[in-house]
Amino acid sequence: MPGGSTAVPATAGHRHTALSLHLIIALSMVASLVVSVAEHSFAADNDQGAQLAATCAACHRLDGRDKGIPSIVGLSEEQFATAMRAYKSGERSGPIMQTMARSLSNEEIQILARYFAARGKETQRQ
């Protein structure tokens, strides 16, 4: 089940076979650029944000799709951090998220908040 974000830009160039060679080359360069960015949005990205986010990915899809578990990609840094702090203090209900939030330090929550805010911007651009 492909994650969708790479598929559309990757094939966009092929529909323009009647266009000039220069345009085709330009389009395919753009296409490969987008593919590369999308593939690497999580790839070769092994910093603390990405490592922590891997835990979230076991329940929340990181391509921004939502099939019953809410997407956390696209929340602003403040929205994410506020929600996680509320789970951590018990102010917000949801036992799985409370347990998860309590396992994170305040600093780790902030790192995740930055990570997901950045991923949201990236997903929007595609």
Partner 1 sequence: MTGWTRRQFGYLAGAMSIGALRPLAARGQAKAQVIVIGGGVGGATAAKYLALGSEALDVTLVEPKTRYTTCFFSNLYLAGLRSLESLTHGYETLAQRYGVKVIHDSVTTIDPVAKNVSLEGGAKLSYDRVVLAPGIAFKAGAIDGYDAAAIEIMPHAWTAGSQTSLLRRQLESMEDGGVFVLVAPPDPFRCPPGPYERASLIAYYFKQYKPRAKILILDAKDTFFAQDVFEDGWSRHYRGMIEWLPGQFTGGIKALDVKGRLIKTVGDTFKADVANVIPAQEAGRLAHQTHLVDQSGWCPIDPMTFESKLQPGIHIIGDAAKAGNMAKSAFASNSQAKVCAFAILAALTGSERFAPHLFNTCFTLLAPDDAVTSAISYGAEPETIKVNDFFLSKVGDKAETRRAAAREANGWYAAFTHDIFG
Contacts for 64 with CB less than 8 Å, ≥ 6 apart: 5, 71, 73, 74, 119, 120, 123
- CA separation (Å) from 120 to 80, 123, 125? 12, 5, 9
The yes or no reply on residue 107 touching partner 1 (CB under 8 A) is no
The yes or no reply on residue 78 touching partner 1 (CB under 8 A) is no
The yes or no reply on residue 103 touching partner 1 (CB under 8 A) is yes
Q: Treating both helix axes as pointing N-terminal to C-terminal, what angle do 77-89 and 95-102 enclose, rounded to 10 degrees?
A: 100
CB of 22 vs partner 1, minimal distance in Å: 17
What residues line the site for partner 1 (CB under 8 A)?
A: 1-3, 6, 29, 32-33, 35-37, 39-52, 54-55, 57-61, 63, 66-69, 95-96, 98-100, 102-104, 114-115, 117-118, 121-122
